[in-house]
Structures are given as C-alpha cells and as structure tokens.
Chain A
Amino acid sequence: MSILHVYAYLVAGWLLLGGAFGIARSRNLIHAVVCLSIAQSGTYVLLIAIGYQSGASPPVFGGSTPPDVAAHSAVVDPVVQAMTLTDVVVAATVTALLLALAVQVAKRHGTLDPDELTSLRG
C-alpha cells in the first residue's frame, strides 16, 4: 500500500481533526464557524475518496444513446457524490444558522470570545 492509496484518507482525517482543533482553541465565534466548515469538508473528501475508481470517468454520460451498462461501468460512484451534495447543503445551512447566532451573541454580550460568555458557562 503506497502513500497514494491513503493520501485522500489522510487529507480527510487531517481536515476533520484540524477543524476540530480550531474549534477547541477558538477565541472567536466566527473563527469557530469557519473551523466547523473545515472539519465538515473532511467528510466531502472522505466520501469522494470512497467512491473513486482509478481511471474511471465521471458519472455523467454525454451523447444521445444510453451507454451499455456492462461495458461502461467504469464511472466513479454517483451515490457518494449525491451524498456529498447533501453534505454541502447541510453545511451551508448550519453555517448560516451559526452565523446568525453569532450576530445575536455579539449584540447581547458585546463579545465574540466564547471564553467571555460567562452567562453561558455550565
């Protein structure tokens, strides 16, 4: 198993853990939201990597004749690509909601530093 065979998985794990590290040490809620987006992009890389096949083409067929399924099966997996699309949409909605929350936190508490939000401390 060469490095190329695990490279995509390494990138996915790196993005996930790097993003989570950024959230853990964040001093700014906007920064934390961006870090969450980075952690989430690790899942895109993971999904696309799982569906990849060496030398395969995209799962979109050109031309006006249906391809012969048996002979033309060399496309990458469309199911994980569709899931990645879902993932991207959910990430965008979560980002929008969290940014709206950050706006309200900044207005109510006058700070974006999570460590200074003493009223939220458990």
Chain B
Amino acid sequence: MTRRVRLIVFAAAAAAVGVLLVVTVVGMPPFGNAFHPYRDVAVAAAIAHQTANVVSGVNYDLRAFDTLGEETILLGSVVGAAVLLRPGREERERTEVPEDEPPLQAVRLVGYLLLPVTLVLGLDVVAHGHLTPGGGFQGGVVLGTGLHLLYLAGGFRALERLRAVPPFEVGEAVGTAAFVAVGIAGLAVTGSFLANVLPLGTFGSMPSSGIVPLLNVAVGMEVASGVILLLAHFLDQALRVERR
C-alpha cells in the first residue's frame, strides 16, 4: 500500500469514526450533569467499607478482580519485554560498562538530594493509598522511576551497585502472588475470591478499609519492581549489549 492510498483509507475511516463520535456525544447525557448512578452506588459501598479514597475503594475492593487482571497484564509485559530484549545469537553482553562522563555538579547535587525524598514520597503514596489520592500503581511508579535519579546523579555503575536485578524479579513475583494470596484468603474465609477478610477499622484512620491497604502494598511492590526491571532491560540494551 503506497502512502497516498494509506492516507486515503485513513481519511475515510477517520471520517466514519468522527461521525460516530458526534452521534454518540449528541446522544449522551449533558456534560457535567448530576446523573451518575455508578457514582452513587460506588461511593456508598466504599463508605460502608470505611474507605476514604473511593477510587482506591473501586480499584482494590469493588473491582479488585479486574485489578488482578490489570496487574497480570503488567507482569506479562515485563516478561515480554525481558524476552524481546535478551541478547540475540550474534550479540553478547559486556561485563564491564565503560564509565561515562560525570554529569554536571548541579545534576549530581539535585539527584542525590531528591533521591531519598522521592523514595519516601513513593512509600507514602503507597501507604496512604486508601486515605489520600494515590495507591499502589501511582506510588509504585514513583518508587521505580525515582530510583533512577541515582542513574542521573551517579551514572550506570552507581545504579548497578544499588540496583541488583534479581531481588526485583523476586519482588515482581511476590507482589503478584501476594495479591492472589489475599484473594484466596477471602475465598477460604468468606467463600468469595478477594472478599474482605480484615477488620474494617475506623474511617479516615491508617488501619481502615480492610484489605485495600494490603493490596495497595502488593501492587506497589509489583509495579515498582516491574518499572525497575523494564528500565533495567532497556538500559542493558543501550549500554551493555553489543554485536560480537
């Protein structure tokens, strides 16, 4: 297909999608109206389970099974990227990575200052996922990417010294398994997979909303490990893998 034909096909398809979008928007309830039946049900259910952050309540309580699926998508993508990025037959991995030029003093200073702050922030976002905006996914990304401030500030060798890959492979597996384990605990105690098995606690306090904080920690661990593994594979590909 030439570029010209491709763009003509695209124009026709885009026009059709555009017409469907306009028809849909015209037929939808008006923007910003007060009719949100799912909202009413979800807010009531989250408050009944003492969850202050209703979004977390939806993700880790009402739709926890879907979140398990989402988590396994992430696991699958990490495994897939690891398979795709392994060194090929005509490639080899360098054991010693040449030290690159030291970064600017200002980058080093800011990187080393912000590294602990960012990691604490990530832990805070995971730990308070059921009370304030955030949760396992968001905090996990902060943790996983925040660790790479070390790469910006100290270079690849500094990162490698602190970030050995095997523990994060274990973390990825344990995070996913912990989610399933909480689900099986629900199955054993109440007869329903991922049903709440913990005391609900008092609204707005740290121990509250049952299994939500537990699942937040499991997901936070899995996401942080997953991000670190993904970036490790890409960094290896850029710095370590070379043609024989």
Contact = CB atoms under 8 A, between A and B. Distances in A.
Interface of B: 3, 6-7, 10, 14, 17-18, 21, 25, 28, 30-34, 36, 38-40, 42-44, 46-47, 50, 52-55, 57-59, 63, 66-67, 70, 73-74, 76-78, 80-81, 84-85, 88, 132-133, 135, 137-138, 202-205, 230, 233-234, 237
Contacts of A1: 30
Contacts of B36: 51, 53, 76-77
Given A61-B204, A78-B46, A79-B58, 12 more contacts: A9-B25, A53-B39, A59-B39, A59-B53, A60-B53, A60-B132, A69-B44, A79-B38, A85-B59, A93-B73, A103-B237, A104-B84
14 contacts: A16-B17, A20-B10, A20-B17, A51-B36, A53-B34, A59-B54, A60-B52, A65-B204, A76-B36, A78-B43, A89-B70, A93-B78, A100-B80, A100-B81
Interface string A49-71: 11111100011111111110100
A24 B6 contact: yes
Interface in A57-107: 58-67, 69, 73-82, 85-86, 88-90, 93-94, 96-97, 99-101, 103-104, 107
Contacts of B30: 1, 5
B44 A81 contact: no
Contacts, number: 158
A117 interface: no
Given A59-B55, A61-B204, A64-B203, A76 B39 contact: yes
Nearest to B14: A17
Contact of B80 (A50, A66, A97): A97
Interface of A: 1, 4-6, 8-9, 13, 16-17, 20-21, 24-25, 49-54, 58-67, 69, 73-82, 85-86, 88-90, 93-94, 96-97, 99-101, 103-104, 107, 115
